[in-house]
């Protein structure tokens, strides 16, 4: 796309009014394409990439440093949530993270006929299979649980965020996570169910994943978290945590682990039985019932000063604070002042054309910043632009 701009700017052949108008029209069209607002049939994604984006899958490439990079690029119409996401293996040998985005997940009387949107980040350990299962199944389970809710028991007043409405969502999320945990513990790393699998029994006992999920409605943000991935809201320049990491040395989690007969051993950080660096997760059959899958759920009413929502795995949060991540994302999302000189700048326009939206640029910059700070883990980031959603 940069070459296209260069050719247009260097075209010194015919300066007739017709040619000038044509060049201007083409520049406007290219800018519109770069910002994700084009309604023309030109599409930067291949048909394969479209299918992968629709299924929440990732595309692979290789960075200049020789590292395998897994990226998820999402371009959403203005009427729907505007978001960007990126998932990279980074300095880790294996890619165990997974990202899932489902637009217009569910729409019924329970949601007052308004669509809700699903965003999830899953950080696997002991293999990638549990995170992959969460990517494929978590949104389906939530949709099924929502469909089972008796809408007559949720009054019209509570539909806007009352006690009944919150209790309904708590039940939906807890049951979905419980069912997801059952699926994960009954599935081997080879992909087979336990009664069809010929692998060693320990293959099914190993492996788990964090799960931080945000359900976005026009009025609220519902976050369910299990593990040490995190959701943060930027509101009026302040970082507001929407989840709290489940670390074994967290006072309430430490008490729960010890009450269940488990131990927290400090071995390269606090670990359950000296093994797992988080106190809650999907899967991890061999650490039940000490490690549980029950999520903590928060409800946040959306406000006009909300700027963006960030969901990310601990590969980002280990090296970036919530405040810094929100500052970087908001700077990317903020509209810039028009340049003093007329005409597009080749370098700026070329760089902007690499990303279909500002939110995608924010996700990419956060990822590169974490890599630059020597993050040793997989890094997965979703940035939702709440101003344009």
pLDDT of the residue at 37: 37
State yes or no: cis peptide before 289, omega within 30 of 0: yes
Contact 64/78 with Cβ under 8 angstroms? no
- Comparing 46 with 280, which gets the higher pLDDT? 280
Residue ranges of domains in the chain: 43-246+281-385
pLDDT of the residue at 112: 78
Contact 33/42 with Cβ under 8 angstroms? yes
pLDDT of the residue at 54: 44
* Rounded Cα distance, 13 and 308, in Å: 46
Q: Is the pLDDT of residue 338 over 70?
A: no
* Rounded Cα distance, 48 and 376, in Å: 30
- Comparing 61 with 104, which gets the higher pLDDT? 104
Q: Percent of the chain scored above 70 by pLDDT?
A: 68
* Rounded Cα distance, 309 and 111, in Å: 21
Query: Taking the domain 43-246+281-385, which CATH number applies?
Result: 3.60.40.10
pLDDT of the residue at 275: 94
**H or E element: which one contains 174?**
helix 163-185
Q: Is the pLDDT of residue 201 over 80?
A: no
If we measure between CA atoms, which residue out of 337, 321, 338, 334 comes closest to residue 386? 334
How much of the chain is in helix, strand and coil states, percent to nearest 5? 35, 25, 40
pTM for the model stands at 0.76
Q: Predicted confidence band at 28 (pLDDT cuts at 50, 70, 90)?
A: low
Distance of CA 55 to the CA centre of its chain: 14
- b (16+ CB within 10 A) / e for 63-74: eeeeeebbbbbb
Non-local (6+) Cβ contacts of 301 within 8 A are 161, 219, 220
Q: Predicted confidence band at 58 (pLDDT cuts at 50, 70, 90)?
A: very low
* Rounded Cα distance, 123 and 100, in Å: 12
């Amino acid at each position: 796309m940069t070459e296209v701009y260069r050719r247009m700017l260097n075209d010194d052949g015919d300066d007739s009014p017709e040619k000038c108008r044509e060049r201007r029209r083409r520049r406007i069209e290219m800018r519109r394409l770069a910002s994700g607002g084009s309604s023309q049939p030109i599409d930067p994604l291949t048909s394969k990439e479209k299918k992968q984006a629709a299924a929440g899958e990732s595309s692979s490439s290789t960075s200049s440093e020789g590292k395998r990079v897994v990226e998820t690029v999402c371009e959403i119409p203005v009427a729907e949530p505007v978001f960007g996401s990126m998932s990279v293996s980074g300095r880790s040998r294996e890619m165990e993270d997974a990202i899932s985005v489902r637009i217009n997940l569910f729409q019924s009387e329970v949601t007052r006929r308004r669509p809700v949107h699903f965003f999830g980040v899953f950080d696997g350990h002991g293999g990638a299979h549990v995170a992959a299962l969460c990517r494929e199944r978590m949104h389906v389970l939530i949709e099924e649980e929502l469909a089972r809710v008796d809408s007559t028991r949720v009054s019209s007043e509570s539909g806007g965020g009352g006690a009944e409405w919150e209790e309904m969502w708590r039940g939906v999320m807890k049951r979905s996570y419980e069912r997801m945990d059952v699926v994960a513990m009954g599935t081997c790393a080879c992909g087979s169910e336990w009664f069809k699998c010929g692998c060693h029994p320990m293959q099914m006992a190993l492996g788990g994943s964090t799960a931080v999920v945000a359900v976005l409605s026009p009025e609220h943000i519902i976050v369910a978290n299990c593990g040490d991935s995190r959701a943060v809201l930027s509101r009026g320049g302040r970082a507001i945590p929407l989840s709290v990491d489940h670390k074994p040395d967290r006072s309430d989690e430490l008490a729960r682990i010890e009450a269940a007969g488990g131990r927290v051993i400090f071995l390269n950080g606090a670990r359950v039985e000296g093994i797992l660096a988080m106190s809650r997760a999907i899967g991890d059959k061999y650490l039940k019932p000490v490690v549980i899958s029950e999520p903590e759920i928060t409800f946040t009413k959306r406000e006009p000063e909300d700027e963006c929502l960030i969901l990310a795995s601990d590969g980002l949060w280990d090296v970036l604070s919530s405040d810094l991540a929100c500052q970087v994302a908001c700077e990317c999302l903020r509209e810039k002042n028009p340049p003093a000189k007329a005409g597009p700048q080749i370098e700026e326009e070329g760089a902007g054309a690499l990303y279909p939206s500002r939110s995608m640029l924010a996700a990419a910059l956060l990822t590169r910043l974490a890599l630059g700070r020597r993050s040793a883990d997989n890094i997965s980031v979703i940035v939702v632009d709440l101003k344009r959603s």
